[in-house]
Amino acid sequence: MNNNFNLSPEQTDALLSMASKKMGIDPADLRRQMQSGDMSGVLSGLAPAQRDRIQSLMQNPAAIQQLVQNPKVQQLLRGLMGK
């Protein structure tokens, strides 16, 4: 899995656990899908509007960059990383 946010393995596991619980899927399945880049299994459990929005975001590097630069997102990431 691409670890651009310098998360420790423990932090990555915690995030996967939280996300998989919210999404109702197995953490190992979520990890495999993220590592493979095939998020269709993850997206299939979302409402159509959420799925469309995420797919649109994933296909737009500029939008992802803008999201990551958002101060609220940066604050959330710092909190998740324990910084």
**Residues 30-66: pLDDT tens digits?**
889 888 888 888 888 788 998 898 888 888 888 888 8
Q: Give domain limits for the chain.
A: 9-81
pLDDT greater than 60 at residue 1? no
Q: What pLDDT sits at residue 5?
A: 58
What is the number of helices (H) and of strands (E) in the chain? 6, 0
Distances (CA, A) of 51 to 47, 59, 74: 6, 12, 23
- What is the average pLDDT across 1-14? 68
Percent of the chain with pLDDT over 90: 4
